[in-house]
A and B are shown apart, each in its own frame.
Chain A
């Protein structure tokens, strides 16, 4: 691993981020990344956060047209309420703050506590929960569907709505629409090695893959002998389509888990587009790359988001962050 010691990986990365991105204010000690021009008068602010190890999510999505601030936790561990309250106070212009929360028990509990504390400080807070992963059945017997690739769609589209100056309840409603229309499914070709543990979190022999994995190195629901890119695309797209029957065009995110080369991801995207075509799903826009990663895991996830004209306009709106940039 390209690190000094496991204890300082997050702080080291934040110092490097500060050096590379003068347009961001990176508070290494308190672990908050804020756009330098915050608070922006008249605009709702978006704050997100989560465990580290998913970069560029979330810190790499801070900037005009997307997040106002991000709170990185320890590797795969949600941040603490103190970080979120500090971030909210730094970015609130008086128009209110939207917390974008991935559905994991830790993230939910810490953001809930932070929302209460921020409201005590007079900050108006709304929350949207991202839960797009169809590999987890949303039932009383699980913690509910995980938040994965749709987080990027929610942060981009709600961020554009905030930049247009829309009020908090509208930005929140748009974020919720994006999440409701999004579903994801991921596969792993290799396990993850966390800096703290130093060895793979589970044993996955070469020649086998895990279907339905999350982004924290946990194994998936099912293990199978290695499949081709085309077969994996069919499995992933069909898993998504069991829970989403789009009548409108979709946004497609073909997301790398961290250790899969772009060459393979583009090849995989060709297969995903082929399967979508054969299932009668129209594609409005496609994004390919490593956006919601899981350290050094090899593999990919597919996220579809059913959209309308309004959401497509917000998706196409300019954005300028370290991890996503177009139109400005």
Chain B
């Protein structure tokens, strides 16, 4: 079973991975975006880590709702509302249980990803974060490691796609050949989950 401490460590691990990859995310955002994805997420997850230290919520759901609110209030751009909604909705779906199972987390994450799809209007194949999130959640039934691998594969598979949502869509065919920065950062969330679970 996964408790609030597990979820706090998951968020801390995500913050560390965002720090590690911030420059790479910004570099991916240069040719098909506006060169700030890494720095924006770094600002947001730093705020998440600070908030979780200051106010240690005692349920898994409350940890994710607090993290989501911090992202909405600090990131801006499209990433703020989208990542914020992902974590907030996942947290709300977990309810106020003190511990949740991996299956419950998978189910809650599916609700979170559905909310992201509704908010951003993106479907799989549009070259967005959805392309990493959907395969990751599908694989979560197997193991955290499988979800991490599926997210990373999903992010890499965005390279040949033409963007149909977000700022990269302005480039039309010129968006082909670049890995999507949002899908890449989404994969970090699942890499951190795998690390936290010790898989």
Please report A residues at the B interface, Cβ cutoff 8 Å: 51, 73-82, 104-106, 109-110, 113, 135-136, 140-143, 146, 194, 196-197, 201-202, 214, 216-219, 221
The CA-CA distance from A143 to B43 in the complex, in Å, is 25
> What is the CA–CA distance of A221 and B162 in the complex, to the nearest angstrom?
13
The answer for the CA separation of A152 and B30 in the assembled complex, in Å, is 27
Across the interface, name the chain B residue whose C-beta is closest to A216: B34
Within 8 Å by CB of B81, from A51, A74, A109, A141, lies A109
- Which single member of B34, B74, B169 contacts A217 (CB below 8 Å)? B34
B36 adjacent to chain A (CB < 8 Å):
yes
Residues 177-189 of B, flagged 1 when their CB comes within 8 A of A and 0 if not, give: 0000000000000
What is the CB-to-nearest-CB distance from B191 to chain A, in angstroms, rounded to a whole number? 24
Interface pair A219/B174, CB less than 8 Å apart: yes
Complex contacts, B124 vs chain A, CB 8 Å = none
What residues of chain A lie closer than 8 Å to B75, measured between beta carbons? 77, 80
> With A194-B35, A219-B171 as given contacts, are A106 and B76 in contact (CB-CB < 8 Å)?
yes
B80 touches A106 (CB 8 A): yes
Q: Which residue of B lies closest to A74 (CB)?
A: B76
Please indicate which of the listed interface residues B30, B31, B73, B119 has the most CB atoms of chain A within 10 Å of its own CB.
B30
B77 at the interface (CB under 8 A from A): yes
List the A side residues contacting B81 at CB < 8 Å: 81, 106, 109-110, 113
Q: List 23 A-B contacts (CB under 8 A).
A: A51-B77, A74-B39, A75-B36, A77-B76, A79-B76, A80-B80, A105-B120, A106-B76, A109-B78, A109-B119, A109-B120, A135-B170, A142-B164, A143-B165, A143-B166, A143-B170, A194-B35, A196-B36, A201-B30, A201-B35, A216-B33, A218-B32, A221-B170
CA of A219 to CA of B166, assembled, Å: 14
Summarize A's interface: helix, strand, loop or mixed.
loop
Tell me the bound Cα distance from A261 to B35 in angstroms: 26
A214 B72 Cβ-Cβ under 8 A: no
Among B145-199, those with CB < 8 Å from A are 162, 164-167, 169-172, 174
A74-B36, A217-B34, A219-B174 in contact; A80/B74 too (CB < 8 A)? yes
| Cβ–Cβ contact B164 & A218, under 8 A | no
Residue B26 CB within 8 A of the other chain: yes
C-alpha gap A12/B35 in the complex (Å): 21
The residues in B between 25 and 82 inclusive whose CB is less than 8 angstroms from any CB of A are: 26, 30-36, 39-40, 43, 72-82
| New A-B contacts (11) at CB < 8 Å, excluding given A80-B73, A194-B35 | A51-B77, A76-B34, A78-B77, A80-B74, A80-B76, A82-B73, A104-B78, A110-B77, A135-B170, A202-B30, A221-B170
Residues of chain A within 8 A (CB-CB) of B72 are 80-81, 113
Q: Are A143 and B39 in contact (CB under 8 A)?
A: no
**Using Cβ atoms and an 8 Å threshold, which residues of chain B touch A201?**
30-31, 34-35
Q: Given A106-B77, A141-B164, A201-B34, are A221 and B169 neighbors across the interface (CB < 8 Å)?
A: no
Residue of A nearest to B33 (CB): A218
Residues of B contacting A73 in the complex (Cβ-Cβ under 8 angstroms): 76-77
Instruction: Tell me the bound Cα distance from A169 to B73 in angstroms.
Output: 29
In the complex, the answer to whether B40 meets A74 with C-beta atoms within 8 Å is yes
CA distance A283 to B191 in the complex (A): 58
- Which of B43, B82, B174 makes the CB contact (< 8 A) with A109? B82
What's the nearest-Cβ distance from chain B to residue A248, in Å? 30
Q: A76 near B82 (CB under 8 angstroms)? A: no
What's the Cα separation between A109 and B82 when bound, in Å?
A: 8
Closest Cβ–Cβ distance, residue A186 to chain B (whole Å): 12
Q: Report Cα–Cα, A78/B167, bound state, in Å.
A: 12
Instruction: Please report the C-alpha to C-alpha distance between residue A221 and residue B174 in the assembled complex, in whole angstroms.
Output: 8
Q: Lowest 3 CB-CB distances: which A-B pairs, in order? A: A106-B77, A109-B81, A106-B78
Q: Could you mark each residue 76-97 of chain B with 1 if its beta carbon is under 8 Å from any beta carbon of chain A, else 0? A: 1111111000000000000000
Q: How far is the CA of A214 from the CA of B72 in the complex (A)?
A: 25
CA distance A150 to B172 in the complex (A): 23
Query: Do the beta carbons of B169 and A202 come within 8 Å of each other?
Result: no
Q: Which residues of A contact B30 (CB under 8 A)?
A: 197, 201-202
Asked if A105 and B170 sit within 8 Å, CB to CB, the answer is no
Contacts of B74 in A (CB 8 A): 80
For the complex, what is the distance from the CA of A110 to the CA of B30, rounded to whole Å? 22
Q: Which residue of A lies closest to B30 (CB)?
A: A201
Residues of B within 8 A of A105 (CB): 78, 120, 165-167
Which of A79, A110, A136, A214 is the most central at the interface, judged by chain B CB atoms within 10 Å of its CB? Answer: A110
